[in-house]
Amino acid sequence: MANPLAGEVAIWLDGQRHVCRLTLGALAELEAALEAGGLIDLVERFETGAFSTRDVLALIVAGLRGGGWTGTAEALRTAEIRGGPFEAARVAAELLARAFSVPQ
């Protein structure tokens, strides 16, 4: 089970459950993968609904890597995500929210 207090979010890829977490290293990888702007710009895009599928993919790859996944962005592009694009966007938004909020 994913631990929300640790910033974890679960995602199902090709029938297997994975835990995503935006660690400091994962955030650094994410920032390097973003072509324009930084993490603040990314958060603003999600807050306004102006995010792209590239943003979703980059966030999920970074989160999966933070959770210990050793796959590639290319592997994720061809994976079946349970819940489809909507679930992928939800997971990405939840990762951002949990990475930048203080547990209560």
pLDDT, averaged in runs of 10, over the chain (104 residues): 86 97 89 77 86 91 94 92 96 90 69
Q: What is the pLDDT of residue 40?
A: 83
Tell me what pLDDT residue 46 has. 86
Model pLDDT, residue 1? 72
Residue 104's pLDDT is what? 66
pLDDT of residue 36: 62
Burial environment of residue 66 by CB neighbours within 10 A (0 to 12, 13 to 18, 19 or more): buried
CA distances to 7, 22, 27, 52, 96 from 58, rounded to whole Å, are: 17, 11, 10, 10, 12
Please report the pLDDT score of residue 79 as a whole number. Answer: 95
Q: pLDDT tens, 1-16? A: 788 878 899 999 999 9
